Amino acid sequence: MTDAPDSVPPARTAAEAALAGDGSPTGAATRWAVGLLTAPGPPSEESMAARLVPAFLAKHPQGFSAVLKSWRAQGPFELRSYEPVAHKSWTVLSDPSGARHTLSVTVDTNGLVRIVNLQPEVVVPEVRDWAGLEEALHTPGVDHAVLAARLEPGRTVVLHRSGADRPMPSGSVYKLYVLRALLHAVERGELRWDDEVTVRPELRSLPTGDTQDLPDGTRLPVREAAYRMIATSDNTATDLIADRLGRDAVERGAAGSGHHDPSLLRPFLTSRELFEIGWGDPELRTAWAGRDETGRRELLRRIRRPMTVRVSDLGETRHRSGLDWHMSAFDVLRVLRALRDDSARDSTGTVEHILTANPGLTVDRGKWPRVYFKGGACPGVAMFCWLLEDRTGTPHVLVLRQIADEQKPIGDAQFLRGLGARVIASGLLESDQSDQSGQSDQNGENDKDAVR
């Protein structure tokens, strides 16, 4: 990956310099992962094991060398771009034919590699107007929703909406409601940031995140668990907080955040419960589908036990069975705005630190100095939402969502994420052009009264 100084393409030099200059754990892990593909010879299984989480090694009981060999056979590679965001990175590499590949790396809280994957680069079209965005999102077998809005005092100016009224599955975006319930408990003095939650077998969930890998009895400060919940979308950390708060408190948090129909979220599932019902014993899914709210609460009490489902069990989509957290794009807008208000009241800065930890993508901080982000994914579901504040302090919200009966049309959601990046960089959110038909919420009420 080195040439004589005069022959190095400027773009390549910039990409290599960006990667070399990233002193974060994500940067260190990405340099190591790039080295797996570009070093003169492949590393040993033993040396790789020292940089990988045990869960990664468990997915490759015969070793990772065979997969790595197939990747290296496509080289030699040249580095074309590097984009780090919090605990993830995406590095674009080109092979001798000119084909481009994306090496994605995800690290855990200790800097160990949780996910490393090489796949063809996802090509995302330019977005110059809202019609172009809709055209890009039009995929057979995939339903989508879009909401772009500017939040002004007393009203919401809708810049573009498409399917924004309909409640749809949201994946991990539900964690914003758990965070709001936590903030209410802290404000009321019922809980302190330095209080602790404890990892227990019956609360252990599946990734994302890495709290599930901690030993039983490990104690985490509420502050750290909340940070993990948002910054790395940690499922087990979220479930620990939800358990400490109680299901009723989380349900009140959702209702108090302006969800248009809180009954859609009752009983409010934890991630462990979703996995256990969705991909565990089929009789659980049958029971869930056939019961009312009271019956479903009883079912959840029955399965308060260590989880039987493993990551390898996930596959078929379950959201059509009501197994997800359903909200509309306007509901998402409301909870993001409420969290912004919560942050303004928090003199400790804890809320702001949590909400700004992961912007989801590289953002021009000259235009958008403040960014809240949450992503959500489940089989057949992909969702990204941002609250971006411009230099004047005016917040803008962008919500993008795709759902399908199979995961394949959605892929790993990098196309949807890329479209979010295109919209944010395009200037469309800053445009004065608004959808004048959409300045009230889905219930037809004036936004000044309905969304506060």
Q: Which fold would CATH assign to domain 123-170+325-452?
A: Beta-lactamase (3.40.710)
Phi/psi-derived region of residue 258, left when phi > 0, alpha when psi is between -120 and 50, beta in every other case: left
The pair phi, psi for residue 377, each rounded to 5°, is -150, 145
Select 5-120's CATH number: 1.10.10.10, 3.40.50.20, 3.30.1440.10, 3.10.450.280.
Answer: 3.10.450.280
Q: Which of 56-60, 130-134, 324-328, 333-337 has the lowest mean pLDDT?
A: 56-60
Mean pLDDT of 402-417: 93
Residue 7 has pLDDT above 70, yes or no: no
Residue 75 has pLDDT above 80, yes or no: yes
CATH superfamily of 199-324: DD-peptidase/beta-lactamase superfamily (3.40.710.10)
* Mean pLDDT taken over the chain: 90
Q: What pTM value is reported for the model? A: 0.89
- Are 241 and 225 a contacting pair, CB within 8 Å? yes
Residue ranges, CATH 3.40.710.10, the chain: 123-170+325-452, 199-324
The C-alpha atoms of residue 207 and residue 367 are separated, in whole angstroms, by 34
Mean pLDDT of 295-299: 97
Encode burial over 189-202: b for 16+ CB neighbours within 10 A, e otherwise: eebebeeebebeee
Around Cβ 151, how many Cβ atoms within 10 Å? 20
Looking up tokens 């319930």 gives: 181
Q: Which of 354-358, 407-411, 417-421 has the lowest mean pLDDT?
A: 407-411
Rg of the chain on CA atoms, in Å: 22
Residue 381 has pLDDT above 60, yes or no: yes
Mean pLDDT of 361-376: 96
The string of pLDDT tens digits covering residues 166-184 is 999 999 999 999 999 999 9
The C-alpha atoms of residue 214 and residue 212 are separated, in whole angstroms, by 6
CA-angle at 280, arms to 279 and 284, nearest 5°: 105
Residue ranges, CATH 3.10.450.280, the chain: 5-120
What percentage of the chain's residues is helix, strand, coil (to nearest 5)? 45, 20, 35
Predicted local confidence at residue 2, as pLDDT: 39
Residue whose C-alpha is closest to residue 83's, from 333, 414, 428: 414
The C-alpha atoms of residue 428 and residue 210 are separated, in whole angstroms, by 37
The C-alpha atoms of residue 357 and residue 372 are separated, in whole angstroms, by 8
Predicted local confidence at residue 434, as pLDDT: 57
Specify the higher pLDDT residue, 14 or 56.
Answer: 14
Mean pLDDT of 395-409: 96
Residue 394 tokens read as 């005016």
Residue 429 has pLDDT above 90, yes or no: yes
- Are 256 and 289 a contacting pair, CB within 8 Å? no
